[in-house]
Copies of this chain bind each other. A is one copy, B any other.
Amino acid sequence: MTEIPKNHPRYESLMAREQIVAGVEKGMTSRQGLIAQGRGEAFDYLIGENTTEGAAYAEAVAVCLLLLAENPVISVNGNAAALAAAELVMLSQLTGAKLEVNLFHRTDERVKKIIGELKENGADVVLGENAEPLLPLEHERAKVERDGIFDADVVFVPLEDGDRCQVLTDMKKLVIAIDLNPLSRTAQTAHVSIVDNLKRALPNMIDMIPEFRNMNEEDLWEIVDAYDNNVVLMDAIETMKENLTAKQNEILGIDEDSDKNDGKPDETGGKRSGNDKRNAEREEARRNARIQRNAETARKVMMRGGDLMME
């Protein structure tokens, strides 16, 4: 793996990227998994790379459901194994959920590699090798184990595809999904949609287990019943809009503390003659005027009052 300094502003995101690339090298993660990781990065950036209040709520409800379930199963794909094998194993052990490898681009080799990775991280039994085409989907994607996902009452699917999520809910299973895209079909279809990074969501959930483990079933069901997935989705989208507005304000704000921007040292270096200095001042004045104009027009666009196109 490439060495990334811990103080890099995007350390977490870059580390995750390295883990996914390592997953490809280990033969666990597919090329499509790399593209999916990129999509996730973009949505995570928009969500603020933080667990929102709504996501924490969904994570709590997910823990309740896993504790309530009679036959919960955690579905594991190549990206999940590359990013959080140890956390998946721990969640499985603490909730009694089975682990089942379930791949969109399934090959027996990748299934074996992922099972190996989970076992290296402490898993005892991992399902997936004896999968049969039991779901109403085309052959390879239809495969699940009879004692695993097929019989499960609650399925926890970090990073699932929309079709399969739909099929699982049609089979009356309760589906918990982790998906950073609140607009995805998976997020819209699952019963509990955790709009959070897998690498934040799983440790959060593990931390929450002691709080819920000793509650009686009735209290747990009360929490689950009160949960409203649309509210959580709405909240995630709202957070993205707020972050986009903050970015707009940041761009517009340039003129409000322009001295901060213009006060930075001249990058060409060296001392300036009097002439150079006057030129520089003129240049600065011009730039300020331009920035001023930008901010004014940009504000109009934010209000959708401006006419963008040249005539």
Contacts and interface: CB of A to CB of B under 8 A. Distances in A.
Q: Determine how many copies of this chain the complex contains.
A: 2
A304 interface: yes
17 contacts: A37-B38, A38-B40, A40-B42, A41-B42, A57-B309, A188-B251, A223-B310, A228-B298, A229-B294, A230-B252, A233-B251, A237-B244, A237-B247, A238-B301, A238-B302, A240-B244, A244-B244
A293 interface: yes
B301 A235 contact: yes
Interface in A19-57: 20-21, 24, 31-32, 34-43, 45-46, 53-54, 56-57
A67 B291 CA distance: 26
A308 interface: yes
Nearest to A243: B183
B39 A301 contact: no
Interface string A230-242: 1111110110110
Contacts of A24: 31
B310 A60 contact: yes
A114 to B, nearest CB: 19
Nearest to A230: B294
Contacts of A309: 53, 56-57
